[in-house]
Amino acid sequence: MINELVNSLLDGDRPGTPSKAEDTESEKVIPSHHARHSSVSTGYGISPVTSTPQSPSVTVPPRYIPEFSSFEAVILDIAPKELVLYSKEVQTDENSFGPSPPDEHEIRAKILKEQEEKEKARQAALEEEKLKIEAEKKRAQQLKDLSEEDRKKILVSNEFAKFIDHSTKIVERALNENYDFMKDYSIIKDNENDDQSGSRVKNLHSFFDERWTKNRSVTDVNWSHKNPELCVASYNKNPFALNEPDGVALVWSLQLLDRPEYIFHSQSDVLTTMFSEFHPTLVIGGTYSGQIVLWDMRAKSLPVLKTPLSASGHTHPVYSMQMVGTQNAHNLITASTDGLICSWQLDMLVQPQETLELVHSEHSKTDEVSVTALGFPDNETAAFWVGTEEGVCYQANRYGRAGGKAGINQYDVYKGHWGPITGLHFHPISGPVDFSDLYLTSSVDWTCKLWRAKSISKPSTSPQSITPLYSFESADDYVYDVKWSPKHPALFASVDGTGKFSVWNLNIDTEVPIVSTQVGSQAKALNKINWDKEGRKTAIGSSDGRIHIYDIGELAYPRDDEWFIMQKTISEMINTTESHSGRYAIAK
Amino acid sequence: MSEVEENIKRLTANKHVQGVLIVNEDGQIIKSTLEPTLNKKYSDLITKLVEQTIFCIKEMDDTNDLTFLRVRTKKHEILIAPDKEYLLITIQNPETKS
């Protein structure tokens, strides 16, 4: 009874999940577990229920017919725990402690040896130095001085000339740098008395060359599109130097004031020149013989290409030309005084791409239209306007189109000048209001005139004369050239035969120029003028061979409202002309 | 007057230029507008300076070469245009510039 009680108590205390070891042991002692329980009071805590699994082979008596049933057994395969073993050993090998310290004698010997070696090296170096110095001395003695003969030989050698030409150019440019980068602003110098600070335009420099421009006249000036400091000028022949080429074109740089950067030659007087807008190194020239020449700054002074002197091209003087088109598709349009217009591809000057003869059937003696000036409106490549020797402007088309055929538009006659036209320039587009139909002309009748070009899409069908919008009549001599400012809508500049350079601002005054200044000391006639890209500097070509560069300073920059004031000025001009003549119909 | 002389003359005529010296690669004087006492000094020392500079430039990048050397000093500025065979040395006084 007590045993039973103990057992039941133990059962309650120990739930039936004994350890493996206990299990195996308990199985072994199954037959006598009662006896054991009785003898060992505490025991292993194995209850009869848990320790005797109901194995059928043991417990089922044979008289029962065994019933088979299926069951699912889940066999869990638990891998034995892996044992990782480490073996301990010394990882540093003996060599890492280095050899046993050498004894003192050895060290001493070594140091001595090293010192000796050093000494030797020093001696060797000294010796070498001595030798070198001696060699240098010898060389110096040998070189001593160049003999007068050698010196002369070098001075006349071709290579030396090339070196001098190149290096002096660089040095001169460096010298012409006006800004002193070491300037110390804390030091006050009081020698600042700018003699020209009062005037509004300032003569920056006048280019002149004793050999190349003396006795010649400037026939044209043009600024580089790529390098703002470069300008090119063409010259006619020098009657006193028969051995020099007749025509020259010089490329001048504002950084190299005393001589031209490049000198280009031509067999015939160069009448007009310009930098190619799309090739920074190319310079184009139109000549008196009618040849178009092409110079390259990478090549020598002779033209790299020129048109042949044949009936396929010009055979009369070429006074005007213009590049039209874009970077990828552009043409050079040239006009000669016999009324021939040619269109060229710059890389192929053998023959013109197109030719167009300007003729006017109404002319009394000859039907030729003698072109002295040519102008394309901005962004226009087919229609252009020409100024002629008779003082009349015409519109012309390069190609035939629905409204009319190629050639001159005979009915629209821009009549106003009483002498040959010397310059014609269209308003460059560059702002909020489009003035691209306005153009200026200059003439030997002492005036400049402002015109409004008639829309090309509506040509007249009967003869009609168009009068100028305005006439600027302050000059006392031939007006040789007129050019709009590229930046300011109402600003333009003109040059005349008395050597006067005038800047006009239509928004301020239309009667007189805002600035008029005498260029040069001798009142020589001024042939051409051209603005630089920024519209601040002008290059003026004089008949005494000088190029005068003028800076117009603050005048160059338009205020924001300048465009609208200009629009008002123009519409006032249109109204006045209309009320006067009544013949001019506004296209818009 | 030959073109060479003309070029040199134009350079010396510049109001900032104090002197022009042209030497060959060994430092021998070909043309000079300096005082005779200064000639030797300038030609020797500047030739050495240029040699050193070229060495220095080439050591940094052996595809490179010296094209122009400008030395600004307290008293003046030395402009040196080197070439394969000759050196053009120009001494200018930048103080006179505005």
* Tokens of residue A331, six digits: 């043409």
Radius of gyration (C-alpha) of chain B in whole angstroms:
14
Q: At A152, is the secondary structure helix, strand, or coil?
A: helix
* Tokens of residue A273, six digits: 């020149």
Flag if B79 and A163 touch (Cβ within 8 Å): no
Listed by number, the residues of chain A in 393-452 with a beta carbon closer than 8 Å to a beta carbon of chain B are none
Q: Report the pLDDT value the prediction gives residue A177, as an integer from 0 to 100.
A: 77
Backbone region of residue A106 per phi and psi (left: phi > 0; alpha: psi in -120 to 50; beta: other values)? alpha
Higher-pLDDT residue of A191, B73: B73
Residue among B4, B10, B83 minimizing CB distance to A155: B4
Check if B94 contacts A (Cβ < 8 Å). Answer: yes
Flag if A171 and B30 touch (Cβ within 8 Å): no
Apex CA A400: angle with CA A396 and CA A403, to 5°? 85
Listed by number, the residues of chain A in 220-259 with a beta carbon closer than 8 Å to a beta carbon of chain B are 258-259
Check if B68 contacts A (Cβ < 8 Å). Answer: yes
Backbone region of residue A63 per phi and psi (left: phi > 0; alpha: psi in -120 to 50; beta: other values)? alpha
Q: Which structural domains are found in chain B, ordered by start?
A: 3-92 (3.30.450.30)
Flag if B28 and A182 touch (Cβ within 8 Å): no
Looking at the complex, report in whole angstroms how far the Cα of residue B42 sits from the nearest Cα belonging to chain A.
14
Contacts of A315 (CB under 8 A, 6+ apart): A290, A309, A336, A338, A340
Looking at the complex, report in whole angstroms how far the Cα of residue A543 sits from the nearest Cα belonging to chain B.
25
Check if B16 contacts A (Cβ < 8 Å). Answer: yes
Spatial separation of the C-alpha atoms in residues A203 and A547, rounded to whole Å: 11
Q: Report the pLDDT value the prediction gives residue A343, as an integer from 0 to 100.
A: 93
Strands A491-496 and A479-484: antiparallel
Q: Closest residue of A to B95, CA-based?
A: A180
Burial class (CB in 10 A: 0-12, 13-18, 19+), A406: middle
Flag if B81 and A258 touch (Cβ within 8 Å): no
Flag if B14 and A182 touch (Cβ within 8 Å): no
**Residue bearing tokens 């500025």:** B77
Q: Report the pLDDT value the prediction gives residue A385, as an integer from 0 to 100.
A: 93
Residue among B8, B29, B94 minimizing CB distance to A164: B8
Flag if A258 and B92 touch (Cβ within 8 Å): no
Strands A407-415 and A464-466: parallel
Flag if B79 and A171 touch (Cβ within 8 Å): yes
At A340, the amino acid letter reads: L
Spatial separation of the C-alpha atoms in residues A99 and A89, rounded to whole Å: 22
Looking at the complex, report in whole angstroms how far the Cα of residue A171 sits from the nearest Cα belonging to chain B.
7
**Which residue of A163, A182, A211 is the best one to mutate when testing the B interface, meaning the one whose CB has the most B CBs within 10 A?**
A163
pLDDT, tens digit only, all 588 positions of chain A: 667 766 766 665 555 444 444 444 444 444 444 444 444 444 454 445 444 455 555 555 667 777 888 888 888 888 888 888 888 777 776 666 666 666 788 889 999 999 999 999 999 999 998 988 888 777 766 666 777 788 888 888 888 888 888 888 888 888 887 777 777 777 765 554 444 445 578 888 899 988 889 899 999 999 999 999 999 999 999 989 888 899 999 999 998 888 899 999 999 999 999 999 999 899 999 999 999 999 999 998 899 999 988 888 899 999 999 999 888 889 999 999 999 999 999 888 888 999 998 888 777 777 888 999 999 998 888 889 999 998 999 999 888 876 667 888 888 889 999 999 999 999 987 788 888 889 999 999 999 999 999 887 777 778 888 899 999 998 889 999 999 999 999 999 999 999 999 999 999 988 999 999 998 888 889 999 999 988 899 999 999 999 999 999 888 888 888 889 999 999 998 888 877 654 444 443
Contacts of A169 (CB under 8 A, 6+ apart): A256, A261
Residue among A145, A171, A191 minimizing CB distance to B88: A171
Check if B74 contacts A (Cβ < 8 Å). Answer: no
Q: At A538, is the secondary structure helix, strand, or coil?
A: strand
Check if A382 contacts B (Cβ < 8 Å). Answer: no
Question: What angle do helix axes A148-156 and A158-175 make, rounded to 10 degrees?
Answer: 80
Confirm if A270 and A260 have CB atoms less than 8 A apart. Answer: no
Sheet holding B86-92, edge to edge: B29-32, B17-24, B86-92, B77-82, B69-72
Q: Closest residue of B to A154, CA-based?
A: B30
**Cβ contacts of B68 on chain A, cutoff 8 Å:** 170, 174
**Cβ contacts of A256 on chain B, cutoff 8 Å:** none
Of B66, B61, B58, B71, the residue nearest B84 (C-alpha): B66
Flag if A164 and B79 touch (Cβ within 8 Å): no
Confirm if A313 and A365 have CB atoms less than 8 A apart. Answer: no
Measured over the CA atoms of residue A318, residue A322, residue A325 and residue A326, the dihedral's sign is positive
Model pLDDT for residues B17-63, shown as the tens digit of each residue:
888 999 888 888 888 888 888 888 888 889 889 999 999 999 999 99
